[in-house]
Structure 1
Amino acid sequence: MRQILAVAAGLAVLTASACSVPVPPRSEAAPPATPTGPVTLPAPTGAHPVGTTALYLKDTSRPDPWDLDVDARQLKVTLWYPTGRRDGQRAAYMTPKESELLLKGSRAGNIPPDTLSKTRTNASKDAEPTGRRLPLVVLSPGFTKPVSTLTSLAEDLASRGYVVAGIDHTYESYATTLPDGRVAECLACDSDSDPGFGTGVVEGRAADVSFVLDRLPSAWDGSAVIDRSKIAMVGQSIGGAGSVAAMLKDRRIRAGIDMDGTTYARMPKSGFSRPFMFLGSAQHVPGGRDPSWERDWKLLSGWKRWLVLTGAEHQSFTDGPLLAGVLGITPPADALPAARSAELTRTYVAAFLDQHLKSRPQPLLDQPSSRFPEVKHCPAACGQS
């Protein structure tokens, strides 16, 4: 079920994704580019400097769903948050070993194995959080990917006054470093063609999210800044499907976003009334290759939006396009540029969260914008009512 999207002739790297309808090449790609130097992620757009820290949590109430020899589920949670510190040590994007395993699993070409570990972030490591009554956003990455591949979005949200909790779902990505230094690899990758795989994954992710929400207040010294009545979830690919599953399981999650993920958890026929937004690529237009959004749209009975970005690929909602140059990849001419895809993702995700967690109305979400003509409001603007 794992999908390798071709953004360029060799664009297997950072695009392996479970639980999405395969997308054929959109156009003939240019020859691979010459790798560039280390990437610096785009600067956050909010008013606050950003801090980050990592937590390691163990759920002794359930065994690990992928490693049958482990009787407790271990999770790594990366937190991003506002801080008053601007001059701290910049946090690492990932370790050299994590970079090596991600590139190997993604079938990258002849790229130095530590390439991704050299990516420069904008967050200060272990900086003290500041603020009060800050909304909490849970982030869940695509299958095989660490949550670090959503760092650009996480840093931006933190700079706008959110606490972001990114979950690495152990054994579902190519590399997750555990507190003892051991690196957990992708055991779930051996099962991704099994019947019911997607449904099982999102059920497990929903359990991971509820456990993190339970433990975060006591596990993080800075948790006093969080307003636990204002929680949303955002996920990409199967992480987006996990947003649906987690909201169905846990009423603490007030609003959710699915970024380009086929959904699996079935919404009740009576309807689902909490705010929800689909944000995706052309595979998710009405009548497109993935019918799951069209099915679920009819069951969303509350505030809802269905947005499709012209020129977007499956990984356009992650750091993937920003890293293409360092990996020697030239996107097709009609692909959404990396900086623009990051801007659109940050802008529309933040607008949704500002409206539903901060009670700040966002006209941007109500109709097409001349500033962002790539964003189509479905179903009507996508050619089907």
Structure 2
Amino acid sequence: MTTALRRRTAVAALAALALLAAPAVTAQALPAPAPAASTEVPAGLPRPTGPYAVGVDVLHLTDHGRPDHWVPGSGDRRLMVSVHYPARPGGGTRAPYLSLEEAEALLAGRGLDDDAPAALSSLATHARVDAATARGRFPLVLLSPGFGNPRATLTSLAEDLASRGYVVASVDHAYESMGSAFPGGRILPCAACDAVEAAPDDAAEREVLGAVSTGRAADLSFVLDRLTGPRPAWEHARAIDRRRVAAVGHSIGGSAAASVMLADARVDAGVNMDGTFFERIPASGLGERPFMMLGTSSHGPGSDDSWDEGWQRLDGYRRWLSVEGSGHSSFTDVPVLEDRMGVVLDPTVTLTTDRQVRITRDYVNAFLDQHLRGRHQPLLDGPTPGNPEVVFQQQS
């Protein structure tokens, strides 16, 4: 798949997210519209499947060692991070999916009705703010969203992993998304999106997107520093087992998962969910660390040169799984939002919402359990009758 096509896919996914919160009159122009408008608050995200309750804290981190590479005049590099964690039952208030201001910013560029942001921000989550942490120490997962998308679009996966005993740090990379609020209520524009749009050709686009991938690697390493270093930014940092760390990302966030493994030996494993590799994996591989490529059939062998080459250069435990009937956004919250809002935005997707959510959760969790907890997962050994949609493209 060409860089230009991948870019268009990413932009389409962001547009789809925006349209999900549109009023019924907008949805009627799309395939399979809702039969009737509803003024009720939409149902929430799917329930987490693990034994723990889920807590969440939001951190604003500033890397004083790096200027922002998209808007140098803005000062030091800044990040917003949602930390989902295993919690004790009860206590705390339910976290919003997005603030109203973030939802407004995300939708503003789409010319949607003023009532739409309230519908999106009111989506119910399962994490609670100020919840007490569960006892124990837990592996850490660094989570990076798709290009242009806020970290909120991976909330369902983050909540589920936390319920299964992981601390999950979902990162908003400054000037790389729409709808991300920073302290003071300021919503930063997507300057990186503008840089891609201004690129004169595919080679220039790929250069910009390569900078996104490597820049995010530096962001994720910095977050790891601030969560596991001697003066951690998170008050519950003692709950993190810093000897067990993984990076997981969607779209260009998946490329960043590989990039941070190349740059930071502390990251033990990685997962790329349907993202072109914009930084090439070198012939020397990833230092024999495990990596999983989980994507659509458009990332099957011969469809994306970066996956073909990346697969050959992975030198540790590796899996290449294609999910038949899925779409680029199947690994995010977008299918859930489609279902809750009663619209269909990608008619090529044939999987139900439940199957898209279950497959993403189960295979990512199985990979992490096997490589961060040392628990063998038969789900990763090969095709299973209960998951006929998941094709093992290669075995090793």
Q: TM-score, normalised by structure 2?
A: 0.87
- Once the 2 structures are TM-superposed, how far is the Cα of residue 70 of structure 1 from its aligned partner? 1.6
- Once the 2 structures are TM-superposed, how far is the Cα of residue 340 of structure 1 from its aligned partner? 1.1
Q: Which residue of 1 aligns with 2:354?
A: 339
Amino acid at match of 1:183: I
Structure 2: tracts of 5 or more residues without a match:
20-29
> Is residue 294 from structure 1 mapped to residue 308 from structure 2 by the alignment?
yes
Q: Which residue of 2 aligns with 1:208?
A: 219
> What SS does the corresponding residue of 2:65 show, helix, strand or coil?
coil
> Which runs of structure 2 are paired with 1:90-239 in the superposition (5 Å)?
90-105=94-109, 112-193=116-197, 194=199, 195=204, 196-217=207-228, 218-239=232-253
After superposition, give the CA deviation of every residue in 1:22-65 in whole Å (9 maximum; x if it has no partner).
Answer: xxxxxxx7332245541310110000000001011111111111
Structure 1: tracts of 5 or more residues without a match:
17-28
- Once the 2 structures are TM-superposed, how far is the Cα of residue 113 of structure 1 from its aligned partner? 2.8
Larger mean CA deviation between 212-221 and 199-208 belongs to 212-221
- Among residues 378, 384, 389, which one is paired with 1:363 in the alignment? 378
Whether the aligned pair in 1 keeps the contact of 2:221 and 2:264 (CA below 8 Å) is: yes
CA distance in 2, matches of 1:148, 1:247: 23
Q: Relative to 1, partners in 2 of residues 1:371 and 1:326: Cα closer, same or farther, differing over 3 Å?
A: closer
Q: Which residue of 2 aligns with 1:30?
A: 31
- Once the 2 structures are TM-superposed, how far is the Cα of residue 5 of structure 1 from its aligned partner? 7.1
> Which runs of structure 2 are paired with 1:66-77 in the superposition (5 Å)?
66-77=70-81
> What SS does the corresponding residue of 2:160 show, helix, strand or coil?
helix
- Once the 2 structures are TM-superposed, how far is the Cα of residue 180 of structure 1 from its aligned partner? 2.0
Q: Relative to 1, partners in 2 of residues 1:240 and 1:90: Cα closer, same or farther, differing over 3 Å?
A: same
> What SS does the corresponding residue of 2:15 show, helix, strand or coil?
coil
- Among residues 2, 13, 16, which one is paired with 2:16 in the alignment? 13
After superposition, give the CA deviation of every residue in 1:347-384 in whole Å (9 maximum; x if it has no partner).
Answer: 0000000000000000110110101111000037xxxx
CA distance in 1, matches of 2:192, 2:141: 25
Q: Which residue of 2 aligns with 1:312?
A: 326
CA distance in 2, matches of 1:347, 1:260: 16
Question: Which structure has greater helix proportion?
Answer: 2
Q: Relative to 1, partners in 2 of residues 1:59 and 1:134: Cα closer, same or farther, differing over 3 Å?
A: same
- Once the 2 structures are TM-superposed, how far is the Cα of residue 87 of structure 1 from its aligned partner? 4.5
Q: Relative to 1, partners in 2 of residues 1:245 and 1:133: Cα closer, same or farther, differing over 3 Å?
A: same
CA distance in 2, matches of 1:58, 1:87: 30
> What SS does the corresponding residue of 2:79 show, helix, strand or coil?
strand
Whether the aligned pair in 1 keeps the contact of 2:319 and 2:394 (CA below 8 Å) is: no
- Once the 2 structures are TM-superposed, how far is the Cα of residue 140 of structure 1 from its aligned partner? 0.2
> What SS does the corresponding residue of 1:69 show, helix, strand or coil?
helix
CA distance in 1, matches of 2:313, 2:392: 18
CA distance in 2, matches of 1:309, 1:364: 14
Q: TM-score, normalised by structure 1?
A: 0.90
> What SS does the corresponding residue of 1:113 show, helix, strand or coil?
helix
Q: Relative to 1, partners in 2 of residues 1:190 and 1:261: Cα closer, same or farther, differing over 3 Å?
A: same
- Once the 2 structures are TM-superposed, how far is the Cα of residue 226 of structure 1 from its aligned partner? 0.6
> Which runs of structure 2 are paired with 1:247-286 in the superposition (5 Å)?
247-272=261-286, 273-286=288-301
Amino acid at match of 1:277: M
Q: Relative to 1, partners in 2 of residues 1:35 and 1:304: Cα closer, same or farther, differing over 3 Å?
A: farther
Whether the aligned pair in 2 keeps the contact of 1:85 and 1:124 (CA below 8 Å) is: no
CA distance in 2, matches of 1:75, 1:86: 29
CA distance in 2, matches of 1:100, 1:110: 8
> What SS does the corresponding residue of 1:359 show, helix, strand or coil?
coil
Q: Relative to 1, partners in 2 of residues 1:15 and 1:155: Cα closer, same or farther, differing over 3 Å?
A: same
The percentage of counterpart residues that share the same residue type is 47
- Among residues 373, 381, 385, which one is paired with 2:388 in the alignment? 373
Q: Relative to 1, partners in 2 of residues 1:4 and 1:52: Cα closer, same or farther, differing over 3 Å?
A: same
Whether the aligned pair in 2 keeps the contact of 1:367 and 1:377 (CA below 8 Å) is: yes
Amino acid at match of 1:199: G
> What SS does the corresponding residue of 1:201 show, helix, strand or coil?
helix
Whether the aligned pair in 2 keeps the contact of 1:139 and 1:164 (CA below 8 Å) is: yes
> Is residue 352 from structure 1 mapped to residue 367 from structure 2 by the alignment?
yes
Whether the aligned pair in 2 keeps the contact of 1:96 and 1:117 (CA below 8 Å) is: yes
Amino acid at match of 2:212: V
Whether the aligned pair in 2 keeps the contact of 1:5 and 1:11 (CA below 8 Å) is: yes
> What SS does the corresponding residue of 1:252 show, helix, strand or coil?
coil
> What SS does the corresponding residue of 2:72 show, helix, strand or coil?
coil
Q: Relative to 1, partners in 2 of residues 1:126 and 1:240: Cα closer, same or farther, differing over 3 Å?
A: same
- Once the 2 structures are TM-superposed, how far is the Cα of residue 179 of structure 1 from its aligned partner? 1.7
- Once the 2 structures are TM-superposed, how far is the Cα of residue 287 of structure 1 from its aligned partner? 1.4
| Number of equivalences | 366
Amino acid at match of 2:275: G
Whether the aligned pair in 2 keeps the contact of 1:13 and 1:106 (CA below 8 Å) is: no
Whether the aligned pair in 2 keeps the contact of 1:35 and 1:325 (CA below 8 Å) is: no
How big is the alpha-carbon RMSD for the aligned residues of Structure 1 and Structure 2? 2.3
CA distance in 1, matches of 2:239, 2:208: 37
Amino acid at match of 1:31: A
Q: Relative to 1, partners in 2 of residues 1:169 and 1:334: Cα closer, same or farther, differing over 3 Å?
A: closer
CA distance in 1, matches of 2:140, 2:120: 28
Whether the aligned pair in 1 keeps the contact of 2:280 and 2:306 (CA below 8 Å) is: no
Amino acid at match of 1:185: P
